[in-house]
Amino acid sequence: MNKLSVIKIGGNVIDNSAKLHQFLLDFTALPGDKILIHGGGKIATELGDSLGVTAKMVDGRRITDIETLRIVTMVYAGLINKNMVAQLQAKGCNAIGLTGADGNIIKAVKRPVKDIDYGFVGDLDASSVSSATLDSLLKAGMVPVLCAITHDGDSQLLNTNADTIASAVAVAMSSSYETSLVYCFEKRGVMLDVDDDTSLVSEIRMHEFDQLKEEGVVSGGMIPKLHNAFEAIKSGVAAVYIGKADELAQIDQQNFGTRLIK
C-alpha cells in the first residue's frame, strides 16, 4: 500500500511570506504522495474590513453570512490557493488548486441552526469526500491543494473548517493508502508547559489522552484538535502528527512534533 501524507497548514504560516516559502519548500521535498489543505489566516478579515464587512465570531468560529461567504471564497479559493499553487509550481511540485466543488471532491451539508446560526458553514460526514477523484489526481502525478470552501451539491458554496476537511480527507484516503495526517501550526506539538519548547510530548496513545486532559496538559482549542485526530485514527488513519510548520522537514526522520497513535 502506497504512503500518503495529508497536511494541513494554519493561517499563522499563510500570513507570513517567509514562513510560507520555507514550508512550501519542505512540503515539496516530502517523499511520496501528498495532499495539502489550507484555511485563510487574517487576509479574509482584512479584506472584509476594507470592504466594510466586519468579521463576526462566536467562540472563535466565524459566522459566514452571504457577504462573508463572498469574501472567504475570493480569498481562500482565489488569492491564497492560487498563490500557493504558483509557488509550488516554481518549486517543482505539480500542484492543482481546488475547492470542494471542483470534481465534486468535497460535498458538505449546511450546518443546521440550533442555538447559533453560523450561516453558510458546511459540516462533513463519512460520505463527503470523493476519494476516487483525489486518487485519480494523485495517480496523474498531481498534488491536490484544497482550500476550506466546499459545496452542497445544489449550487451553494459553504465555508468549512480546514482541520475538519483534513481529517475527513485522511480518513477517506486510508482505504487505499497508508495515510498520515499532519497538522502544522505555530507550536512544536503538545507541550507539558506551553511556554517551554523543551517540554514536547513526543507520543500520545489513545488511552493517555483522557489522563492528559485531566492533568490540564491538553486544554482549550487543543482538545477538539486531538479528539478529531484520534477519531481519524479509529477510522483507519495510520498516524496523526501535530507540530511546528517550520520543522516539517524532520518528519521523515520520525522527529516531528507529537505523534498520535493507537
Which backbone phi and psi does 44 adopt, to 5 degrees? -65, -40
Among 259, 193, 134, 79, residue whose Cα is nearest residue 251? 259
Q: Is 92 annotated as a binding residue?
A: no
Q: Is 159 annotated as a binding residue?
A: yes
**Nine-digit cell string for 80:** 491564497
Q: Is 40 annotated as a binding residue?
A: yes
Compute the C-alpha angle 180/4/9, nearest 5°.
60
Beta pairing class for 157-159 and 149-151: antiparallel
Q: Is 62 annotated as a binding residue?
A: yes
Answer whether 16's CB lies under 8 Å from 121's CB.
Answer: no
Q: Which residue has the cell 476537511?
A: 165
Give the CA count within 13 Å in the CB-facing half-sphere of 254.
4
Q: Is the dihedral of CA 109, 80, 17, 245 positive or negative?
A: positive
Residues 6+ apart with CB under 8 A from 93: 24, 27, 28, 143
Q: Which residues are annotated as a binding site for substrate?
A: 40-41, 62, 159
Q: Which residues are annotated as a binding site?
A: 40-41, 62, 159
